[in-house]
Amino acid sequence: MQSRAATVEDTVPVLDLGPYLSGEPGALPALGSSLREACETVGFYFVINHGVPDDLIARTFAEAARFHSLPQDEKSRLAVNEHNIGYMGFKGSTTRSSRVHQNTKPNLNEALFLKRDLASDHPDVVAGKRFRGANQWPDEALIPGFREAINAYCAATENFALSLMPVYASALGLPHSFFDEAFREPQYTLRMTHYPPVSDQDIEDNQYAIAPHTDSGFMTLLPQNELPGLAIRKTDGTWIEPPAIPGSYLVNTGDLARRWTNHRFLSTPHRVVHRSTQDRYAIPFFFDCNIDWPMACLPTCTEEDNPPRYPTETYTEYMLWFGSQNYKHIVPKTDEKVADVD
């Protein structure tokens, strides 16, 4: 599990959204160039001046701690379902989809998964459409203000993610509005993860807080954590721990971005090792396109000698495969199409 701490300069680029968000001339193509280099060489980048208020981020970390301090029976009442919404207990997942490591042991964490807060009478909820269920919320009397705070954070982080889409288009040599329709109602998942203290004698060989893996979706937005533990795998196979930059987000591209760009953008493996005596919390925000958007190979990512590696597929098709590999609660039904894998 060895990894080394590293400086910003030799690991992860830092992208400043300030000039772009304030409309400075030339800021968008310059930012697109920086993002392209980051996604093609590292797969991770820091973002500063992103627009998500610091106090809202801090509040959300506090809400994660509040939720996970609830009695176990209250959390278990919200058991995660086929839409990947709800509470997943400690050791509730084993990461089997990794391209870089054979993971055989359950992950040492528990988590609450929340998505866009659809009303119970929303047509997709009523129809039971996969990954479009209603959120499972804890009892308001037990944790007052939780739902309001989480929805405020999701709205702010969604706006941050959407602000990056013209930058991704610029990075890929596409019109700045190219992704507008594909992300008109994007899918997202907030994972509120708790890594409890675990003694060395209780950690088995080849067991991690989260085992080496790549993320499933388009991109993941992760606000800085007070406790270290995250490590990323460089292209030369070495593991490094990105430094903390106060007030920043660490953003990485996932497998859907890798597939959509025909492997032009990296989906970089990462892992979490937690050996502290303190509780550790993380609130990654997984951001994806519309649920039924047909993701054909992007036109600037294929040529005659570099044909598309994958058939056109949707978020749902890929998530059915990914989920069934890693989570016991996601099993494709006989009438559900599943993506072709790497």
pLDDT in tens, the chain (342 residues): 556 555 545 579 999 999 999 999 999 999 999 999 999 999 999 999 999 999 999 999 999 999 999 999 999 999 999 999 999 999 998 877 767 767 788 999 999 999 999 999 999 999 999 999 999 999 999 999 999 999 999 999 999 999 999 999 999 999 999 999 999 999 999 999 999 998 777 788 888 888 889 998 999 999 998 888 999 999 898 999 999 899 999 999 999 999 999 999 999 999 999 988 999 999 999 999 999 999 999 999 999 999 999 999 998 888 887 766 666 676 667 666 766 655
Helical residues (DSSP H) of 172-292, grouped into ranges: 255-260
Q: Which two tokens stand for residue 257?
A: 């971005």
Smallest Cα–Cα separation from 247: which of 219, 213, 223? Answer: 223
**The predicted structure's pLDDT at residue 322:** 74
User: pTM of the prediction?
Assistant: 0.92
Six token digits for residue 17: 């959204």
CA gyration radius, the chain? 19
Angle at 279 between CA 275 and CA 285, to 5 degrees: 100
* pLDDT given for residue 221 in this prediction: 98
Burial environment of residue 278 by CB neighbours within 10 A (0 to 12, 13 to 18, 19 or more): exposed
Give me 1's structure tokens: 């599990």
Predicted local confidence at residue 261, as pLDDT:
98
Per-residue pLDDT tens digits for 290-305? 999 999 999 999 999 9
pLDDT in tens, 95-125: 777 677 677 889 999 999 999 999 999 999 9
Q: One-letter amino acid identity for 231?
A: A
